[in-house]
Amino acid sequence: MTPRDLLPILAFAALAALVPILVTAGTTLNFAIFTLILCLAAQGWNILGGYGGQYSFGHAAFFGTGAYAAALLQLKLGISPYGAFATGIAAAATVGFVIGFLSFRSGLRGSYFALVTLAFAEVFRVLANAVEFTGGAAGLLIPIDVRPANFQFASRASFYLVALGLVVVALVMTRALERARLGAQLVAVRENEQAARALGVDVLRVKLSAITLSAGITGAAGALYAQYFLYIDSNIAYGSWISVEALLAPIIGGAGTLFGPIVGAVLLHSLAEFTKSLVGRIPGVDLVIFGVLLILVVRFPPRDLPGLIRRRLGR
């Protein structure tokens, strides 16, 4: 990885850091923070799905594990929120490794892998809803105690910058992956698994590395969600909404590209907010839009939006 590889990420970070200076309205910042959390979740999905071609429909399993682990460790064990956050990432990565081991070792691919991940996420959701330890259907409430040492900030701008920092870390990790042997082998597995094996790629090891990394990043998004909204329940943490968000953003923005998930997440959420304000508060109208978009994207795959724009502008 050369400094030049990091330039676009730095440019993005600098631009995005301007947002809290230009915008002070609480709802707008709230929206921006939520979008950043989704960017992070989508960036996680992008590593496994975009670069590795293993389409997971159950990234909620990792998002939720990150969220629940971060919340539970603070509430039940009194661990510092930062420690709980880090452990949440590790817990999500572990769940990713285990799900990966079980499904990839049995050779599950394509829609079979997608279905298995979906099933895992649903099992986690039902369990979290039923077990008393996780607060059951009532969910978990992290008590408000606004101190930076407690990972709670008085100003939304501070939290925005923390979320942005995490997104930038995920971007740098993705860029590093692109430039590393693992990244090349991961893309090779996506393009042609058989050919990759013939060229000495240990397909199982590559897929397991990818799902572990992917789950860790999406788990970070979950832990961040818990820390920002200070409340989770099973339908938020393990709900299929986040699985859909995590996969839709990269697919629309450009799966397997560095900024695809971010372009997609920002686009989707601006659109969702716009339609909400247009048609009023009909619950679920944004989901209808997402559904229509998903159908359109599957029917007319755009490859990636930045690439499309570049082609339109004429190289």
Partner 1 sequence: MSFLEVDKVSKRFGGLLAVSDASFTVAEGSITGLIGPNGAGKTTLFAIVSGFEPPTSGQVRWRGQPITGRPPHVLAGAGIARTFQIVQPFAGLSVRENIAVGAFLRHRRRADALEVAEQVAARVGLSAELDKPAAALTVAGRKRVELAKALATAPQLLLLDEVLAGLNPSEVRDIVPVVRAIRDSGVTVLMIEHVMQAVMNLCEAVHVLAQGRIIASGTPAEVVAAPAVIEAYLGHGAAARLARHA
User: Which residues lie near partner 1 (CB under 8 A)?
Assistant: 179-181, 184-185, 187-188, 190-192, 194-203
Minimum distance, C-beta of residue 302 to partner 1, in the bound complex (Å) = 15
CB of 239 or CB of 256, closer to partner 1: 256
What does each C-alpha distance from 240 to 67, 106, 174, 192, 271 come to in angstroms? 15, 24, 25, 29, 20
Pick 194 or 277: Cβ nearer partner 1: 194
In the complex with partner 1, the residue whose CB is nearer, 204 or 285, is 204
Query: CB 204 → partner 1: shortest distance, Å?
Result: 9
Smaller CB distance to partner 1: residue 213 or 293?
Answer: 213
Query: Is residue 146 exposed (0-12), middle (13-18) or buried (19+ Cβ within 10 Å)?
Result: exposed
Least distance to partner 1, CB of residue 299, Å:
20
Query: Which residue number, 197 or 276, has a Cβ lying nearer to partner 1?
Result: 197
CB 268 to partner 1: min, Å = 24
Residue 306 C-beta: closest distance to partner 1, Å: 16
- Minimum Å distance from CB 307 to partner 1? 12
Our CB check for partner 1 shows the closer of 143 and 200 to be: 200
The Cα-based distances of 182 to 206, 242, 266 in angstroms read 7, 27, 28
Q: How far is the CB of 201 from partner 1 (least distance, A)?
A: 6
| SS (HEC) of the chain | CCHHHHHHHHHHHHHHHCHHHHCCCHHHHHHHHHHHHHHHHHHHHHHHHHHCCCCCCCCHHHHHHHHHHHHHHHHHHCCCHHHHHHHHHHHHHHHHHHHHHHHHHCCCCHHHHHHHHHHHHHHHHHHHHHCCCCCHHHCEECCCCCCHHHCCCCCHHHHHHHHHHHHHHHHHHHHHHHHCHHHHHHHHHHHCHHHHHHCCCCHHHHHHHHHHHHHHHHHHHHHHHHHHHCEECHHHHCCHHHHHHHHHHHHHHCCCCCCHHHHHHHHHHHHHHHHHHHHCCCCCHHHHHHHHHHHHHHHCCCCCHHHHHHHHCCC
Indicate the residue among 172 and 267 with the shorter CB distance to partner 1: 172
Q: Report the nearest approach of partner 1 to the CB of residue 275 (Å).
A: 33
Report how far residue 189's alpha carbon sits from residue 197's, in angstroms, rounded to the nearest whole number: 8
Output 137 or 180, the one with its CB closest to partner 1. Answer: 180
Comparing CB distances to partner 1, the nearer of 71 and 196 is 196
| Cβ–Cβ < 8 Å for 18, 32 | no
CB of 221 to partner 1, least distance (A): 27
